[in-house]
């Protein structure tokens, strides 16, 4: 079988209809059982949110806000709908600290689909080198492998010689972990005269350039990666087609302009915002802080869901100018006040070591009066002076940058 289930190959319209038919119940559940969403969605009628346009009008909750709310209301800031005991099997801590619950459902993080696309099958022995303490990565991969019928060796990180010894003794079919640690194990195995048994790998947690994929292929290992977070679980994953990442079946993904909740045009780089159907941790319009873009068309592998380009950087471009923080949301508000501006990028430079801000505005017909009005908005919103430069529509780079800090210090 080439696909994990029939959900992956259903028509796009059928998938959209199913997701947005289920969404009102998830919103109502979040309001009823997660106090933070009871407040955030107080004026929202869940029954009315049945389209992407309606969803886009709901507030975005970003990771930074989640952290602040957790500090004020431990452990989960009012965003979780579970309690200690039967509903919550484990709790993890990511840097921050940011706490995440793990519920009792099999394949809680929904990563089995991604492992299947990477060639993992029932009966495989999986050498899992993701951490088993504090952060959920080890459990994320283990629960997915178990859902497929795999056996897992919980290797964790470090102890390279012991890792190689286990590989030599147990002869695992598959590796799970970061690509850099896989390379370390392979190099150590070569030093010790051990021929690793890996034929497949599922890597995540760091960059995986084509050169690394090719190097592994030359050693007989087919490697794939996925985009997942501790909060959401699986967001998107690679398939044998290796053309972008296919979005998982149980989330709604939007790409929005950084600093806002406004969806960007198809193909434009923006922040990944995810709505999950997880009843235990019902995150609605969760801003991951990661940049990506939608790819046109469907994957040649037969999976019909939306595709994204993968991780393209971070959306949080907040910078400090003359002692004042300047946020992407402030730039977005300037653009919102002046509809003649289609897109804008704030460039920060320091010629002669003196900070200078220039807002580059895509505008069909900019004039001195408009420039003055925009400059006034910049000063009002940021409390700083900023120059205005007009440019042709479509001329700004499609890289998701709202603030470009080009300052150099010598």
For 138, phi and psi rounded to 5 degrees? -60, -45
First to last CA, the chain: 59
CA distance linking residue 52 with residue 243, whole number of Å: 25
Do 62 and 76 sit in the same domain of this protein? Answer: yes
Do 136 and 190 sit in the same domain of this protein? Answer: yes
Do 360 and 379 sit in the same domain of this protein? Answer: yes
117 domain-assigned: yes
Do 348 and 217 sit in the same domain of this protein? Answer: no
CATH number of the domain at 371, please: 3.30.300.30
CA distance linking residue 100 with residue 300, whole number of Å: 35
Question: What is the residue whose two structure tokens read 């939608």?
Answer: 294
What confidence score (pLDDT) does residue 374 get?
Answer: 97
Domain that residue 113 falls in = 12-314
For 192, phi and psi rounded to 5 degrees? -95, 0
Do 307 and 357 sit in the same domain of this protein? Answer: no
CA distance linking residue 368 with residue 348, whole number of Å: 21
Q: How many domains does the chain have?
A: 2
410 domain-assigned: no
- Is 332:340 a contact under the CB 8 Å cutoff? no
CA distance linking residue 279 with residue 31, whole number of Å: 11
For 194, phi and psi rounded to 5 degrees? -100, 135
Residue 120's nearest CA partner among 223, 207, 248 is 223
Taking each continuous run of H as one helix and of E as one strand, the counts in the chain are 11, 21
184 domain-assigned: yes
- What residues contact residue 99 under an 8 Å CB cut-off, 6+ apart? 70, 74, 75, 76, 91, 92, 93
* Boundary of a domain, candidates 314, 334, 358: 314
Do 263 and 351 sit in the same domain of this protein? Answer: no
Do 166 and 27 sit in the same domain of this protein? Answer: yes
348 domain-assigned: yes
CA distances from 383 to 315, 321, 324, 327, 335 (A): 23, 10, 8, 12, 16
7 domain-assigned: no
Do 382 and 291 sit in the same domain of this protein? Answer: no
The ranges of the chain with pLDDT < 50 are none
Q: Which tokens hold the place of 342? A: 């289609």
| H/E run at residue 162 | helix 160-170
Do 191 and 334 sit in the same domain of this protein? Answer: no
The DSSP string of 48-60 is G--SHHHHTTSPP
Residue 361's nearest CA partner among 393, 336, 404 is 393
Residue 379's nearest CA partner among 339, 321, 340 is 321
- pTM greater than 0.95: no
3 domain-assigned: no
What confidence score (pLDDT) does residue 137 get?
Answer: 93
What confidence score (pLDDT) does residue 289 get?
Answer: 87
* Boundary of a domain, candidates 292, 314, 336: 314
CATH number of the domain at 265, please: 3.40.50.12780
Ramachandran category for residue 183: left, alpha or beta (phi over 0 → left; psi -120 to 50 → alpha): alpha
Residue 315's nearest CA partner among 230, 357, 257 is 257
Do 283 and 357 sit in the same domain of this protein? Answer: no
DSSP secondary-structure letter at 8? G
What confidence score (pLDDT) does residue 410 get?
Answer: 52
Do 33 and 180 sit in the same domain of this protein? Answer: yes
What confidence score (pLDDT) does residue 324 get?
Answer: 80
4 domain-assigned: no
Do 234 and 372 sit in the same domain of this protein? Answer: no
What confidence score (pLDDT) does residue 409 get?
Answer: 60
CA dihedral (294, 298, 299, 303) in degrees, to 10, reads 110
* Boundary of a domain, candidates 271, 295, 314: 314
CA distance linking residue 387 with residue 383, whole number of Å: 13
157-186, pLDDT tens digit by residue? 889 999 999 999 999 999 999 898 999 999
5 domain-assigned: no
């Amino acid at each position: 079988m080439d696909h994990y289930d029939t959900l992956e190959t259903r028509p796009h319209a059928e998938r959209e209809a199913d997701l947005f038919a289920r969404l009102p119940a998830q919103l109502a559940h979040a309001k009823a059982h997660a106090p933070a969403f009871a407040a955030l969605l107080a004026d929202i009628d869940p029954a009315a949110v049945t389209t992407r346009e309606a969803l886009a009008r709901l507030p975005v909750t970003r990771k930074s806000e989640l952290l602040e709310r957790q500090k004020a209301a431990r452990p989960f800031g009012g965003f979780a709908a579970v309690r200690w005991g039967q509903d919550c099997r484990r709790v993890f801590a990511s840097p921050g600290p940011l706490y995440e619950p793990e519920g009792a459902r099999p394949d809680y993080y929904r990563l089995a689909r991604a492992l299947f696309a990477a060639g993992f099958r029932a009966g495989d022995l999986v050498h899992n080198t993701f951490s088993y303490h504090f952060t959920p990565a080890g459990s994320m991969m283990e629960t997915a492998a178990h859902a497929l019928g795999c056996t897992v060796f919980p290797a964790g990180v470090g102890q390279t010689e012991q890792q190689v010894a286990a590989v030599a003794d147990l002869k695992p079919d598959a590796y799970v972990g970061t690509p850099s640690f896989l390379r370390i194990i392979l190099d150590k195995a070569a030093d010790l005269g051990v021929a690793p048994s890996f034929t497949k790998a599922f890597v995540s947690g760091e960059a995986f350039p084509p050169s690394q994929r090719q190097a592994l292929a030359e050693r007989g290992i087919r490697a794939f990666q996925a985009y997942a977070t501790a909060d959401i679980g699986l967001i998107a994953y690679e398939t044998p087609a290796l053309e972008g990442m296919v979005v998982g079946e149980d989330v709604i993904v939007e790409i929005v302009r950084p600093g806002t909740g406004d969806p960007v045009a198809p193909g434009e780089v923006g922040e990944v915002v995810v709505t999950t159907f997880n009843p235990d941790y019902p995150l609605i319009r969760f801003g991951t802080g990661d940049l990506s873009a939608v790819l046109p068309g469907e994957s040649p592998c037969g999976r019909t869901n939306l595709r994204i380009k993968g991780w393209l950087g971070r959306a949080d471009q907040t910078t400090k100018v003359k002692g004042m923080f300047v946020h992407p949301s402030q730039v977005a508000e300037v653009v919102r006040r002046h509809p003649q501006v289609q897109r804008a990028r704030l460039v920060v430079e320091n010629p002669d070591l003196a900070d200078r801000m220039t807002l580059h505005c895509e505008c069909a017909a900019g004039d001195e009066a408009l420039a003055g009005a925009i400059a006034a908005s910049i000063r009002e919103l940021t409390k700083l002076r900023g120059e205005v430069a007009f440019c042709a529509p479509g001329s700004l780079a499609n890289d998701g940058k709202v603030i470009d800090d080009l300052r150099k210090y010598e």
